[in-house]
Structure 1
Amino acid sequence: MEERLLRFFVAVYEEKNLTRASELCFVSQPNISNGIKQLEEKMGKNLFNRHKRGVELTNEAHYLYPIAKRLLGELKELPDLFLKQDISNQITIGVADSLPQEYKLQFFKTATRLNDAVLWNVTDIGRENEVNLLVREWKDEEDLFLPLWKENYVLCIPNGHQLLQKDEIDLVEDLKNENFIHCPSCEAHKQCISILNFSNQTVNTVGNCSTKTETLTLLMAGLGLTFLPEYFIDGWYGFETRPYKGPTYYREIGLAYSRNSLQNPAIAKMINYFSKNELKGNKFSDFASYKKSQ
């Protein structure tokens, strides 16, 4: 669709007169008439009914008008598209699955404020990214790692389970023949197995899940017990957590990056800030003072 034809249409629609429309568009009246005819042929609809005093608008014209105005407005703004935003700060980042939403939210909010404006290219974790937000165990051996937060693994028990009557769970005495949900493909599985090996008891596996999200779903469905990161489960329902006697395990989440990535000024600022300030799940009390010191 030619921009010229849309401009002709809008002018005729607003003026309801071919002569005045041609004056607005700085073309001759035959040009306007031919342009409207071309547009009507393309649309397969009659847009105007001509008469001696001007033109009468059809229902099709009323329908097309707001669309044409929007398209012309967008075309007009195209040349200034990249002048209106600062896209000099760009970061390609991979984000691991099953990270707590609140911490991810605060991370992106703060990293963006550090650089005033950032164009984020967010994808799955991988070597092709400038930086990855992930669990320490998942980082490439050659990458540097900056920890952002830790979260303990907690024992999750579905609603209605008899173990919820206890204030503290004894792994040796209380987990005999209990049903457990596992996530063999992620670090949670290793932590869960390590904790269960401490009890030296037989447990029944009722689910092997490919992600922690699926593990959480089976837990909420009441299928069995599991160990999950404490911040990951925050805000979900259908289960409760209980403290237990036994080894405590945690996972560490942070930024994995190569030294070459520090050549990106936006990433360098981000690494510098988070190496000195803790990432918190609800607020950043140190952010304002940090900005003043720069």
Structure 2
Amino acid sequence: MEERLLKIFVAIYEEKNLSRAAEKCFVSQPNISNGLKKLEEILGKKLFTRHKRGVEIKTEAHYLYPIAKRILGELNTIPEMFKEENFKTKITIGIADSLPQQFKSSFFKEATKVLGNIEWDIRPINRDCDLNLLIREWKFEEHLYLPLGKENYVLCVPEAHPLATKNKITIHDLNNQPFIHCPPCEAHQQSLSILNQTGKKWNTIANCQNKNEVLTLLIAGLGITFLPSVFASEWNGFKIKNYDGPKNFREIGLSYAQKSLKNQKVAQLIDYLSNTKTNFLKQ
């Protein structure tokens, strides 16, 4: 079906006259007549009945008209859709669990400012994503990695806990305390190891696989724990204490496969972040 034939049909339908339709389409009347004849042959239906003053619209033409208008309208929008400033590139990005909301918001605000018209497809972290926003230790082995910020760990104590009133807490104060443990966390593992070396231990009351689960039990008052500072600062229901003990941090960055750089927007973002000092983590 030619676009030209639909334009001829719409002109005849709206003008109800072949001569005026020809003027509207900037063609001769024989071209209008031949175009209508070809369209009717394709459809196997008569669309108009000619008379001296113009044409009479048949039922088939009433049915075709809104379809033809919609098709022509969609065809007319295609050039606009593919103008550079309007065409959206998609980036599939995996987001690790329990990253600070402040960090994620700042990242997307800056990235969108740099990239312009972009469509984000946000998923859990996966090696098939164009980008992954995650903790360094979770980087996929074959991926490249771009660090974006470090976040210190802080000691968090329920408001009703006896340690909440203590000005400075040492690692020895953790002895036999109810502790919400996150096995993948290096801060937890290191503190546990030091306690064990001194013949002390903590009283594990829960093992959690991510920081969100740890946070839930902390706010419930079940025990003390370590949490990343920016992540912890976004919540209430516990106290962040002055801790005189081993210092730990986690690093957040972008993990991506070499092939992801074939996406020009991904390459543009990586180049920008590699050469610009950013502060997504305000501690």
TM-score under structure 2 length normalisation: 0.68
Asked whether the 8 Å contact 2:150–2:281 carries over to 1, the reply is no
Asked whether the 8 Å contact 1:179–1:224 carries over to 2, the reply is yes
Please list the CA deviations of residues 110-153 of structure 1 after superposition, one character each: whole Å capped at 9, or x if unmatched. 11111111111111111111111110001112211110011011
Determine the structure 2 residue equivalent to 1:260.
259
Number of paired residues? 216
The amino acid that maps onto 1:143 is: H
CA distance in 2, matches of 1:150, 1:196: 22
Asked whether the 8 Å contact 2:149–2:280 carries over to 1, the reply is no
CA distance in 1, matches of 2:56, 2:262: 54
CA distance in 1, matches of 2:177, 2:76: 65
Determine the structure 2 residue equivalent to 1:41.
none
CA distance in 1, matches of 2:59, 2:276: 70
CA distance in 2, matches of 1:151, 1:80: 47
Gaps of 5+ in 2: 1-54, 64-68
Determine the structure 2 residue equivalent to 1:221.
220
Please list the CA deviations of residues 194-235 of structure 1 after superposition, one character each: whole Å capped at 9, or x if unmatched. 123223322111111232101100000000001111111122
Deviation (angstroms), 1:255 = 0.5
Q: CA RMSD in A?
A: 2.9
Asked whether the 8 Å contact 1:220–1:239 carries over to 2, the reply is yes
The amino acid that maps onto 1:93 is: I
Alignment of 1:80 onto 2:82: no
Determine the structure 1 residue equivalent to 2:164.
164
Determine the structure 1 residue equivalent to 2:175.
176
Deviation (angstroms), 1:192 = 0.7
Picking from 170, 190, 195, the partner of 1:194 is 190
Secondary structure, aligned partner of 2:113 = helix
Determine the structure 2 residue equivalent to 1:58.
none
Deviation (angstroms), 1:165 = 1.5
Please list the CA deviations of residues 50-79 of structure 1 after superposition, one character each: whole Å capped at 9, or x if unmatched. xxxxxxxxxxxxxxxxxxxxxx99xx7797
Determine the structure 1 residue equivalent to 2:34.
none
CA distance in 1, matches of 2:59, 2:264: 57
> Within 5 Å, which residues of 2 pair with 1:67-146?
80=77, 83=81, 86-146=86-146
CA distance in 2, matches of 1:246, 1:126: 35
User: Radius of gyration: which is bigger?
Assistant: 2
CA distance in 2, matches of 1:197, 1:101: 31
CA distance in 1, matches of 2:59, 2:121: 50
> Within 5 Å, which residues of 2 pair with 1:23-102?
80=77, 83=81, 86-102=86-102
CA distance in 1, matches of 2:226, 2:238: 12
Secondary structure, aligned partner of 1:122 = strand
CA distance in 2, matches of 1:218, 1:169: 21
The amino acid that maps onto 2:162 is: Q
Deviation (angstroms), 1:183 = 2.1
Over 3 Å counting, the alpha-carbon distance change for 1:194 and 1:123 in structure 2 is same
Gaps of 5+ in 1: 1-25, 36-71, 284-294
CA distance in 2, matches of 1:128, 1:226: 34
Secondary structure, aligned partner of 1:275 = helix
Deviation (angstroms), 1:279 = 2.9
CA distance in 2, matches of 1:27, 1:226: 83
CA distance in 2, matches of 1:217, 1:79: 54
Over 3 Å counting, the alpha-carbon distance change for 1:282 and 1:87 in structure 2 is farther
The amino acid that maps onto 1:162 is: P
Asked whether the 8 Å contact 1:87–1:119 carries over to 2, the reply is no
Determine the structure 1 residue equivalent to 2:202.
203
Structure 1 window deviating more from structure 2 (136-145 vs 257-266): it is: 257-266
Over 3 Å counting, the alpha-carbon distance change for 1:213 and 1:77 in structure 2 is farther
Secondary structure, aligned partner of 1:228 = strand
CA distance in 2, matches of 1:144, 1:270: 14
TM-score under structure 1 length normalisation: 0.66
Determine the structure 1 residue equivalent to 2:229.
230
Over 3 Å counting, the alpha-carbon distance change for 1:210 and 1:111 in structure 2 is same
Asked whether the 8 Å contact 1:89–1:115 carries over to 2, the reply is no
Alignment of 1:147 onto 2:152: no
Asked whether the 8 Å contact 1:198–1:246 carries over to 2, the reply is no
CA distance in 2, matches of 1:168, 1:27: 93
Determine the structure 1 residue equivalent to 2:10.
none
CA distance in 1, matches of 2:281, 2:213: 26
The amino acid that maps onto 2:254 is: L
Over 3 Å counting, the alpha-carbon distance change for 1:260 and 1:183 in structure 2 is same
